[in-house]
């Protein structure tokens, strides 16, 4: 992978204009996308030393507010903007935000590496994490023995993301059938913290972005009533067949017919380039399909020359 990135970077350097792009490149939003955004920023700075990415990774919920307030032009999000966020932006600026898909991802349900559990159904998962049990479970699951698992600490300890993250909302909608979390869910500001907490506690279970997993945890496949088991393979995530797969977005404050400033233009050219998508894979995410990449490259090429 390092050799591939080096070759693509050389290719990009040949194709890009020699004139440096100078200025700050601000972005506010997703913690899940922080590593990917920073890596893109590093590669862009290698070509344009006068450019600096200034990233504030406070969670996906912070992106729409910053875009609406005009304090940033770029808002990375691990979920789509909701209707209220879109309306607030449009009311303030008079036009909708631009939505770009930049990668694919999946959420993984994780347990300690020595946990013998092989898989979980959606109904079981809901019974573990949810107060409401909207997926149809008759009773809550609070102990590992209810799943046929013997552990020294029988009580299940829950870990997950906090309410500011897109991961928190996606898991609630997809895994809990739109229900509510248990009050004793331990909420963390980032997926890395969830993974570390589960790796440190044999009786723990949690959910986190697939790219944050370590050797200390085990990702559980999803089982269904017919006994079929689904795992978040890159192919399933790219197609959207895995139920906890998701698109990752970059929202722009760009009026219709407007031109992007040079730093943003250079950044997006990198994101949708072969090098940019190689970084997606390097960071543990899933690259976009060629068809989707072609659509967004065509949109980028249709913009007026960079300011």
pLDDT for 141-185, tens place per residue? Answer: 999 999 999 998 899 999 999 998 889 999 999 999 999 999 999
Out of 230, 245, 260, pick the residue that ends a domain: 245
Range among 95-104, 220-229, 297-306 rated most confident: 95-104
In a domain, 296, yes or no: yes
Give the integer Cα–Cα distance in Å for 288 and 272.
Answer: 9
Do 232 and 138 lie in one domain? The reply is yes
Q: Give the pLDDT of residue 236.
A: 80
Give exposure, 75-113, as e/b (b: 16+ Cβ within 10 Å): bbbbbbbeeebbebbeeeeeeebeebbbbbbbbbbbbbe
Do 58 and 170 lie in one domain? The reply is no
- CATH at 239: 3.40.190.10
Q: Report pTM.
A: 0.81
Positive or negative, the Cα torsion across 107, 109, 111, 115? negative
In a domain, 306, yes or no: no
For residue 6, name the pLDDT band (cuts at 50, 70, 90): very low
Do 139 and 98 lie in one domain? The reply is no
Do 30 and 54 lie in one domain? The reply is yes
Do 60 and 164 lie in one domain? The reply is no
For residue 251, name the pLDDT band (cuts at 50, 70, 90): very high
In a domain, 150, yes or no: yes
- Residue 228, judged by CB atoms within 10 A of its CB (0-12, 13-18, 19+), counts as exposed
- Condensed to tens digits (0 to 9), the pLDDT of residues 274-285 reads 999 999 999 989
Do 120 and 237 lie in one domain? The reply is yes
In a domain, 281, yes or no: yes
Do 219 and 260 lie in one domain? The reply is no
In a domain, 307, yes or no: no
Do 293 and 231 lie in one domain? The reply is no
Do 142 and 196 lie in one domain? The reply is yes
Please state the domain count of the chain: 2
Q: Give the pLDDT of residue 80.
A: 94
CB 194 within 8 A of CB 206: yes
Selected residue with higher pLDDT from 211 and 207? 207
Give the range of the structural domain holding residue 38, as residue numbers without chain letter: 2-104+247-301
- Residue 215, judged by CB atoms within 10 A of its CB (0-12, 13-18, 19+), counts as exposed
Range among 51-55, 110-114, 187-191, 227-231 rated most confident: 110-114
In a domain, 183, yes or no: yes
Give the integer Cα–Cα distance in Å for 135 and 45.
Answer: 48
In a domain, 206, yes or no: yes
Do 227 and 262 lie in one domain? The reply is no
In a domain, 237, yes or no: yes
In the predicted structure, residue 69 carries a pLDDT above the cut 60: yes
């Amino acid at each position: 992978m390092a050799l591939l990135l080096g070759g693509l970077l050389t290719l990009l350097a040949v194709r890009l204009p020699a004139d440096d792009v100078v200025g700050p490149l601000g972005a506010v939003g997703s913690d899940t996308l922080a590593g990917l955004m920073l890596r893109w920023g590093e590669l862009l700075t290698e070509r344009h030393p006068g450019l600096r990415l200034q990233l504030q990774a406070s969670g996906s919920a912070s992106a729409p507010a910053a875009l609406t307030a005009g304090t940033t032009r770029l808002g990375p999000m691990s979920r789509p903007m909701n209707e209220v966020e879109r309306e607030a932006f449009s009311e303030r600026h008079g036009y909708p935000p631009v939505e770009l898909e930049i990668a694919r991802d999946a959420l993984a349900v994780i347990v300690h590496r020595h946990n013998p559990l092989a898989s979980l159904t959606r109904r079981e998962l809901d019974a573990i994490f949810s107060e409401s049990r909207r997926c149809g479970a008759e009773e809550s699951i609070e102990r590992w023995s209810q799943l046929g698992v013997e552990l020294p600490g029988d009580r299940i300890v829950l870990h997950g993301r906090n309410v500011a993250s897109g991961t928190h909302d996606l898991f609630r909608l997809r895994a809990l059938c739109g229900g509510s979390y248990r009050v004793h869910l331990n909420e963390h500001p980032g997926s890395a913290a969830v993974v570390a907490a589960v790796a440190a506690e044999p009786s723990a279970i949690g959910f986190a972005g697939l790219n944050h997993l370590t050797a200390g945890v085990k990702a559980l496949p999803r089982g269904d009533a017919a006994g079929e088991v689904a795992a978040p393979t890159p192919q399933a995530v790219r197609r959207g067949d895995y139920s906890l797969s998701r698109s990752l977005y970059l929202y722009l404050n760009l009026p219709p017919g407007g031109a992007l400033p040079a730093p943003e233009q250079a950044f997006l050219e990198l994101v949708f380039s072969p090098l940019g998508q190689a970084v997606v894979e390097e960071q543990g995410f899933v690259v976009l399909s060629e068809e989707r990449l072609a659509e967004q490259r065509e949109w980028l090429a249709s913009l007026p020359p960079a300011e």
